[in-house]
Amino acid sequence: MKTFRVGFGYDVHQLKEGYPFWLGGIQVPHEKGAVGHSDADVLIHVICDALLGAANLRDIGYHFPDQDPQYKGIDSKFLLKNVVGLLKENGFKIGNIDSTVCLQLPKVNPHIPAMQKCLAGVMDIHESLVSIKATTTERLGFVGRQEGVSAYCVALIYQE
């Protein structure tokens, strides 16, 4: 009998000029990029938190603290790969990922297939199991003013 578990992730990063914009494991062309201790890939961070939460393994900050210099500027795909390893060590498999990126600009939709392919490869799952949606906030709030990016994720994991 399979045991199913669900986890949720939420993250926010400030946007500033002069930074590269990493989203879903790929670099998206834009004049602003996300600011953070790592490469600030908000989508990967919420996926990590959703997976860790589902497995009751705390959160991304617990495993990869932003006070630790070894994670300064790190590629978030490395963090995700390690989270997937933790899941496997604890007997879990990924059922599916459902995520939403909130961003006024740039438009995310053209980049979704490349993000799905990248993230599926990192997690060693089929692309059809990685849902990425995008929305604006109709110019409201910090996302609407293009001051930041936020993302949400729900992940289903299971044990056989």
Instruction: Please check if 63 is assigned to a binding site.
Output: no
SS3 string, 25-65, reads CEECCCCEEECCCCCCCHHHHHHHHHHHHHCCCCCHHHHCC
Instruction: Please check if 142 is assigned to a binding site.
Output: yes
What span, in angstroms and rounded, lies between the C-alpha atoms of 62 and 80?
14
Instruction: Please check if 131 is assigned to a binding site.
Output: no
Instruction: Please check if 144 is assigned to a binding site.
Output: no
Instruction: Please check if 31 is assigned to a binding site.
Output: no
Instruction: Please check if 98 is assigned to a binding site.
Output: no
Instruction: Please check if 37 is assigned to a binding site.
Output: yes
Instruction: Please check if 45 is assigned to a binding site.
Output: yes
Instruction: Please check if 33 is assigned to a binding site.
Output: no
Torsion angle, alpha carbons of 5, 63, 135, 112, to 10: -90
Amino acid type, 30: H
Count the alpha carbons within 13 Å of 98 in the hemisphere toward its beta carbon: 7
Instruction: Please check if 13 is assigned to a binding site.
Output: yes
Instruction: Please check if 137 is assigned to a binding site.
Output: yes
Instruction: Please check if 66 is assigned to a binding site.
Output: yes
Instruction: Please check if 74 is assigned to a binding site.
Output: no
Instruction: Please check if 138 is assigned to a binding site.
Output: yes
Give the residue numbers of the binding site for a divalent metal cation: 11, 13, 45
Give the residue numbers of the binding site: 11-13, 37-38, 45, 59-61, 64-68, 135-138, 142, 145
